[in-house]
Amino acid sequence: MPYSAAMTEAILKQSQQIISRTTDGQGLYEITRDVGDWTEGQNIETGLLTLYCRHTSASLVIQENADPDVMRDLQSFFKALVPEDTSLYRHSAEGADDMPAHIKGALTATSIGVPVSGGRLALGTWQGIYLFEHRFRPHCRDIVLHLQGS
């Protein structure tokens, strides 16, 4: 039977959820388990999960989740790359970490996509999904999950 867009639309399903994560300040917070558990409960075998962070001073990354030194090195690298020094920036309304947090967010991603296969996230062996908090103070961050597939 030849492929038809109408046939595909008829079998596609969508699900959406917002997950919230409270941070303790700057750092990488693994959310793989929460995202994976939600995904597995959606009865979608094959598809694409889009994750979207609804903030400009936090971001999302997929990174190694086996060696914690990777997280520490990433944080150190970004701290050196984007100094938290108010004399370097015009925008500092909320303190020394304000503009650096926005720059770090611009250098990383607010949205990522993860394939879903067999009803599960199709991540590699050593990959995890992280919320990357760029601010000093604790925040409650919302991440929109949107899964589409069949």
120 inside domain? yes
pLDDT given at position 4: 57
Residues of the chain with pLDDT under 50: none
Q: How far apart are CA 18 and CA 79, in angstroms?
A: 29
57 inside domain? yes
pLDDT given at position 11: 86
The model's pLDDT over 51-64, given as tens digits with 9 standing for 90+, comes to: 999 999 999 999 99
SS3 69: helix
pLDDT given at position 30: 98
46 inside domain? yes
Domain span at residue 90 reads 13-149
Q: Of 134, 147, 135, which Cα lies nearest the Cα of 46?
A: 147
131 inside domain? yes
Q: How many domains does the chain divide into?
A: 1
35 inside domain? yes
97 inside domain? yes
Q: What is the CATH number of the domain that holds 66?
A: 2.60.120.460
Q: What is the pTM of this model?
A: 0.91
Q: Of 29, 27, 21, 7, which Cα lies nearest the Cα of 145?
A: 21
- Give the number of other CB atoms < 10 A from CB of residue 131: 23
36 inside domain? yes
pLDDT given at position 134: 98
2 inside domain? no
Q: How far apart are CA 106 and CA 14, in angstroms?
A: 28
